[in-house]
Amino acid sequence: MTGRAGQSRGRVRADQVAPGPSDESVGMRFDIEVGQVAHGGHCVGRAPDGRVVFVRHALPGERVVATVTEEHTGYLRADAVVILRPSPDRVTPPCRYAGPDRCGGCDFQHVTPAGQRALKEAVVREQLIRLGRLSEAEVVALDVRVMPLPGGPLGWRTRLRYTVAADGRAGLLKHRSHEVVPVDTCLIAAPGIQATDVTARSWPGEDAIEVVASPSGIAVSTVAGATTRSVSGPDKVIETVGDHRWRLDPEVFWQVHSAAPAAFVSAVLAMLAPRTGERAWDLYGGAGLFSAPLADAVGPRGSVTLVESDDRAVLAAAANLGDLPQVTVVSSTVERARPRGRPDIVVLDPPRSGAGARVVRKLVEAGPRAIAYVACDPAALARDVATFRAAEWRLAQLRAFDAFPMTHHVECIALLTPPDS
């Protein structure tokens, strides 16, 4: 399927909408009643011919004029280009680059902060029921609420990647596109990132520009193919959570919301309640955000095994956790790793695709007393919850955080317990 958002061929009747899996519907416009929110930053409606339409820039309960941006077998994608009946949660986007055929980085700039969190709560609940196979009563008992993090909905992002266009200008990508939108600033970026001259300069020959804000300063790097080169700022960025300090290469993964690391650590420790002398596994452990406080909690008589496959993160973890002798850093995929002994507790922080059935079965066999699952995608979390449930494990608690305001993304931390707990 090809076609750009925002192309308009005028208003059409239902019998003018092409029924087949072709590009004929792209650019067509029609009035539509917008229904429930769906995972991915859009709401669901029906085209005049009955096909499902996933509508961006809309809100549940609104009536809008939608322009079709993509046509697939059985469904359409569209943008709301005129709001005929607005939701009470609708606001004017603070960013002038937000909206149809513009920057695709933010999904919910047109929604109040409270309305954004309500949408995300609805998505988490729906995914747990549809993919996680929980009953409505079980989901109600979890009391799913998306909690805001300190700092508000703007200026929170400490890591930003600009894409360089053919003319050398740095910008941000359109939704589901490789097309670069030139911007002068990104309002969700940390103030230090907004203050750089990255978008005012030309970057010929570069693919992307990475900007990282930390207490140690603003690090700017260029990316060309597999080569990263420091342009300005510190070679290492400093991150601090509690009593622990990390000195990291700018390319090493770290949570992008400035308040997220401390909030996530607090939630994980509260759920797992580590005991002195226990054995902990930190899977997909990165640079050791969770391993350091786990080591404090289990003490010198306990142990923490961090498993990570990214070479840069492994080196960072080894360097920054070297003063904690109870921590062992293992360079391996989680699937292949064979940590010694049975774990008492596990932190599971997989990539967006989730842990997967193989890893879940491995953990069930290992038999810890509790697992704290840190998830950046509610669909992946729900799929893994279903696998745990097939082994009679229980989703005992769930906390959700609005760690990505203005976007559809939400961070969930789930407590999973075995059947004999």
Task: Note the pLDDT of residue 190.
Answer: 98
Q: What are phi and psi of 61, to 5 degrees?
A: 90, -10
Q: Tokens 């949570």 appear where?
A: 255
The model's pLDDT over 259-282, given as tens digits with 9 standing for 90+, comes to 999 999 999 999 999 999 999 999
Report yes or no: 64 and 55 within 8 Å, Cβ to Cβ: yes
Can you spell out the DSSP letters for 221-280? EEEETTEEEEEES-SSEEEEETTEEEEE-TTS---SBTTHHHHHHHHHHHHH---TT-EE
Phi first, then psi: what are they for 67, rounded to 5°?
Answer: -110, 125
H-state helical runs in 44-202: 113-130, 136-142, 191-194
pLDDT at 340: 85
Per-residue pLDDT at 87 exceeds 90? yes
Contact by Cβ (8 Å): 30, 47: yes
pLDDT at 105 over 80: yes
- Check residue 23 and give its pLDDT: 77
Structure confidence by residue, pLDDT tens digits, 193-238? 999 999 999 999 999 999 999 999 999 999 999 899 999 999 999 9
Sheet containing 345-348: give its strands across: 146-148, 394-402, 411-417, 370-375, 345-348, 279-283, 303-308, 327-331
Q: Is 366 helix (H, G, I), strand (E, B) or coil?
A: helix
Total Cβ atoms within 10 A of residue 205: 8
Q: What is the pLDDT of residue 24?
A: 86
Active site residue 412: no
pLDDT band at 22 (very low <50, low <70, confident <90, very high): low
Phi, psi of 305, rounded to the nearest 5 degrees: -110, 115
Model confidence band, residue 15 (pLDDT cutoffs 50, 70, 90): very low
List, in sequence order, every residue forming a beta bridge with 398; answer none if it has no partner. Answer: 414
Residues 369-386, mean pLDDT to the nearest whole number: 98
Joined together, the tokens standing for residue 223 give 């990316």
Question: Is the pLDDT assigned to residue 14 strictly greater than 50?
Answer: no
User: 106, 186, 376, 412: which is the annotated catalytic residue?
Assistant: 376
pLDDT classification of 11: cutoffs 50, 70, 90: very low
Domains annotated for the chain, with CATH where assigned, are: 14-90 (2.40.50.140), 118-151+257-417 (3.40.50.150), 159-241 (no CATH)
DSSP 284: T
Q: DSSP characters for 290-316? A: THHHHHHHH-TTSEEEEEE--HHHHHH
% of the chain residues with pLDDT over 70: 95
pLDDT in tens, 299-341: 999 999 999 999 999 999 999 999 999 999 999 999 999 998 8
Kindly report the pTM of this predicted structure. Answer: 0.92
State residue 420's pLDDT score. 87
| Mean local confidence (pLDDT), 92-107 | 97
Whether the Cβ atoms of residue 41 and residue 55 lie closer than 8 Å to each other:
no
